[in-house]
Amino acid sequence: MAVIDEIKIILDVTDKDALLILYIRKANTLISNYLRTTVEASTVYPDAVIEYVAISFNKKGNEGLSQFKFENTEASYIGDGLPKSVKDLLPLPCIKMLGAYLI
């Protein structure tokens, strides 16, 4: 099953393909930059991409907020980078030191 199809099932949406594709592309870029690699994240780390897209989709419209409170509901948002829940699904990034890669 393709990543976009899994995301549609999780988010229970059928008509947001363009938006989901945009979030998938952004997830691929952020994950590749975080890992310092050029792999296609949606094929190698599909769970991390799905997690990022679900978070971004649910956060849509609240991008400028750092936190909110409504009646008994309270939530906080982190910055624009990868959330901890996405990083937990990825390996540690490689670090280049003196011409050699260390993990």
Is the model's pTM score more than 0.85? no
Please write the tens of the pLDDT for every residue from 2-56.
898 899 999 999 888 899 999 999 999 999 999 988 889 999 999 999 999 998 8
Please write the tens of the pLDDT for every residue from 50-79.
999 998 888 886 666 666 677 777 666 656
> Which secondary-structure segment (H or E) carries 85?
helix 84-87
Please tell me the predicted confidence (pLDDT) of residue 97.
Answer: 67
Please tell me the predicted confidence (pLDDT) of residue 29.
Answer: 95
Annotate 55-80 with DSSP letters as a single string.
HHHHHTT-TT-SEEEETTEEEE---S
* Length in residues, the chain: 103
DSSP state of 98: T
